[in-house]
Amino acid sequence: MSPLTYIVSFNKKVKLLILSIYNKNKNDALIYRTKERVMLICNMDPKLVIDNVGKGLYKFKEQIYEMNEDFALTHDFSKDLNADIKDFSNIMDRLKEMWTALPSEDKQEYIDLIQDLLDDYIEYLSCIHL
């Protein structure tokens, strides 16, 4: 497959993820702004999205594939990712709060989606480094 296949799939899943988060938090202005930013950048530069988000996911691939919930809830990702995105810490705090309130089946859907994103990124890397 071509790298474009994985870029499109990755961005589709990122949009699905952010829309799902937004739909569970429609009255949260920070989540709304984040959704708008993510949708805009996915539409404007999908390669940038897979290159940056994928790289961040890949850094934590062991924890993602092991479904390490404790790590995800306690780790400060902004330090590892050198996050300069405005509101990054606030978004992560909101997502952690949201996570603790989710039913198990919803959590599994998010876990599956994040693992799929990581799979797409790894396949994308294999295409561009052949």
Convert the pLDDT of each residue in 3-22 to its tens digit: 999 999 999 999 999 999 99
Q: pLDDT tens for residues 54-82?
A: 998 999 999 999 988 888 888 877 776 65
| pLDDT at position 13 | 97
CA separation for the pair 41, 6 (Å, rounded): 16
Per-residue tokens: 57: 């996911």
**Looking at the predicted structure, is the pLDDT value of residue 114 above 60?**
yes
Which pLDDT value is given to residue 74? 87
